[in-house]
Amino acid sequence: MKKISYRLWVQMLLLIGITLGLLWVLQVVMLEQYYLYSQTRNIKQEGIALAKAYEEGMNEELLTEKAEELNLKFNAGVEIYSINGERVFGFSLMPMMMGRAVYKQEVFLEAAKGEAIVRQLKHNRLNSNILLVGIPIGEGPEIKGVMIVGAPLAAIKETKEIIKEQLFIITVILILISLLLTYYSSKAFTKPILKINEAAAKMAKGNLSVRVDVESSDELGMLSDTINNLSAQLQKIEQLRKDLIANVSHEFRTPLSLIKGYAETIRDVTGDMKEKRNSQLSIILEETDRLKSLVDDTLNLSQIQSEDFRPDMVPFDIFATVNSIMSRFAHMSEEKGITLDMQWDKASVVVLGDEPRIEQVIYNFVNNAFNHTASGGWIKISISTNEDNVKIEVSDNGHGIPSEELPYIWDRFYKASKDDKGKGLGLSIAKEIMEAHNSSYGVESIPEVGTTFWFTLLKA
Ligand SMILES: Nc1ncnc2c1ncn2[C@@H]1O[C@H](COP(=O)(O)OP(=O)(O)OP(=O)(O)O)[C@@H](O)[C@H]1O
Ligand SMILES: [Mg+2]
């Protein structure tokens, strides 16, 4: 494993390397050239100014003063020759600086042509280089003479050695600092990562109650928040799963024990008593049906609840749907002596939705109404429209739901009365379908007066 600290260190070394490399090139390699360049430029500039002043008739006293200035600045000597080679002025604390006569002559001849020139030459005795600058006095054919400025070039080698030494010390110090910095910063950086990793590993092993306490406002803090969120969500899902298993097994227990009990009775006792046996067999069949419908509804619910359930939205006529439900309940209506009516403000309304699912919602509402309304009562399905929505209501004049029960009726396996024949799944299935449709929905109920379930659909 390549550690983060290692990578950080390599990057820091790279930065140090580049910085020092640049310094090295500028200071050591280019120093000499730069020094020569700036020295030449400065001496030339001041020399030309002085030559000009001399040409314009500067007196000897002032000239000496200026030459002295040059000497102080550049350690330079100044000589002025007339055009026929006669020396008319000289200022040099170290005459040797001016170099050998041959060179001087060469510079004189060149400059006399009218252009300022620069020569660099080696001084044997001083063992250092000398810069000779020749400047013509006057212009064109009227050149009156030549001024020669000579200055020693400082020993750059020594300076270079000093800089090298300093750079070496800086390099060592920087490498040490980078080691310390990477050590501490990578430690501070990896510590929360290790914490988060540890928590995630625990979660992977099934311990969902872990929490990461990284209190920083950066990306790592964000990651730890996400992990904490994840653990909370997983805990919730785990709780739901446990509840579901507990509920399902509870619901299955009663029919299963009934089936087992009657099957045993038939085997041991009533096997040959045709009438008793048949009535017990019908109970077994009824309970098997109930089990089957429990399994179907549970599967149905978990399918609708799954992440990737999307209602298949198509336009359809809600009247046709309600009519088909009415005919499915016609028999029950007659049998129970409960009237089933339909009411509308506009015939034929096309809505947008998953038709079979919407039919299931209304079916569940009507089915509940039949289960909780006494003989002689009524059930009404009404359809009303406004600009964009269609509201579907299923009302009954049954025994109603106590207000303290109302918040729970949508819960899975919730039944208001324990000996209710239902499975407690109808309303949770309806709720999931309506939420998948983004419908608004609700219930109003007054005990002993009646109940109304309603929901809305978008007009197509
Ligand atoms: N119209 C109604 N009048 C009175 N109580 C109702 C009405 N509709 C629902 N309830 C109450 O709400 C509970 C939950 O209804 P839900 O449809 O979810 O379950 P269920 O009818 O008991 O079983 P099933 O899964 O077979 O539909 C019912 O058990 C009942 O107590
Ligand atoms: Mg129901």
User: How confident is the prediction for the chain on average, in pLDDT?
Assistant: 89
Q: What is the pLDDT of residue 4?
A: 78
Residue nearest to atom 28 of ligand 1 (CA): 415
* Mean pLDDT computed over 279-303: 93
Binning pLDDT at 50, 70 and 90, where does residue 164 land?
confident
State the pairing for strand pair 117-123/87-91: unpaired
Q: Nearest-5° angle of CA 46, CA 49, CA 50?
A: 85
Q: Give the helix, strand, coil percentages of the chain, each rounded to 5.
A: 60, 20, 25
For the residues 273-292, what does the mean pLDDT come to?
95
Q: How far is the CA of 426 from the centre of ligand 2 (A)?
A: 4
Number of other CB atoms surrounding residue 142 within 10 Å: 10
Look at residue 403 in the predicted model and tell me its pLDDT: 93
- pLDDT of amino acid 418: 64
- Sequence ranges of the domains in the chain: 4-158, 219-305, 314-459
What DSSP string describes 115-153? S-EEEEEEETTTTEEEEEEEEEES-GGG--EEEEEEEEP
Q: Which pair of structure tokens corresponds to residue 270? A: 């009533």
CA distance 338 to 1: 76
Give residue 315's pLDDT band: very low, low, confident or very high (50, 70, 90): very high
List residues near ligand 1 (CB under 6 A): 297, 364, 368-369, 371-372, 396, 398, 400-401, 409, 414-417, 420, 422-428, 451
Closest ligand to the CA of 415: 1
Q: What residue type is 73 in one-letter code? A: K
Mean pLDDT of 15-41: 86
Encode 85-110: b = buried (16+ Cβ within 10 Å), e = exposed.
eeeebebbeeeebbbeeebbebbbeb
**Angle CA(404)–CA(241)–CA(313) in degrees, nearest 5?**
80
Distance CA 427, CA 304 (A): 13
* pLDDT band at residue 124 under the 50/70/90 scheme: low
What is the identity of the amino acid at 373?
A: T
* Amino acid sitting at position 218: D
Best of 251, 404, 427, 449 to mutate for ligand 1, by most ligand atoms within 8 A of CB?
Answer: 427
Q: Whose CA is nearest to atom 26 of ligand 1?
A: 422
Q: In which band, very low, low, confident or very high, does the pLDDT at 185 lie, cut at 50, 70 and 90?
A: confident
Query: What are the strands, taking DSSP E only, across 38-86?
Result: 77-82
Rounded average pLDDT over 112-138: 83
Cβ distance 316 to 355 under 8 Å? Answer: yes
348 C-alpha to center of ligand 2: Å? Answer: 27
Distance from residue 458's CA to the centre of ligand 2 (Å) = 25
Q: Which residue out of 254, 286, 368, 429 has the highest number of ligand 1 atoms within 8 Å of its CB and is therefore the one to mutate?
A: 368
Cα of 51 vs centre of ligand 1, distance in Å, is 115
Question: 198-202, 303-307, 326-330, 333-337: which range is least confident on average?
Answer: 303-307
- Compute the distance from residue 423 Cα to the ligand 1 centre, in Å: 8
Ligand 1, atom nearest to 415 Cα: 29
Residue 369 CA: which ligand is closest? 1
Q: How far is CA 397 from CA 372, 393, 421, in A?
A: 9, 13, 20
Atom 27 in ligand 1: residue holding the nearest Cα: 426
**Residue 183 — pLDDT band, cuts 50, 70, 90?**
confident
The torsion angles phi and psi of 448, rounded to 5 degrees, stand at 70, 0
Looking at the structure, give the CATH architecture of the domain made up of residues 219-305: Orthogonal Bundle (1.10)
Instruction: State pLDDT tens for residues 412-422.
Output: 888 877 666 78
* CATH T-level topology, domain 4-158: Beta-Lactamase (3.30.450)
Beta-carbon count within 10 A of 75 CB? 16
| CATH no., domain 314-459 | 3.30.565.10
pLDDT tens readout for residues 352-406: 999 999 999 999 999 999 999 999 999 999 999 998 999 999 999 999 999 999 9
If one compares 4 and 351, the residue with the highest pLDDT of the two is 351
Identify the residue with better confidence: 240 or 173: 173
What is the CA(294)–ligand 1 centre distance, in A? 14
Answer with the residue of higher pLDDT: 309 or 279: 279
The pLDDT of residue 423 is 87
In which band, very low, low, confident or very high, does the pLDDT at 161 lie, cut at 50, 70 and 90?
confident
**Residues facing residue 393 across a β-bridge:** 382, 454
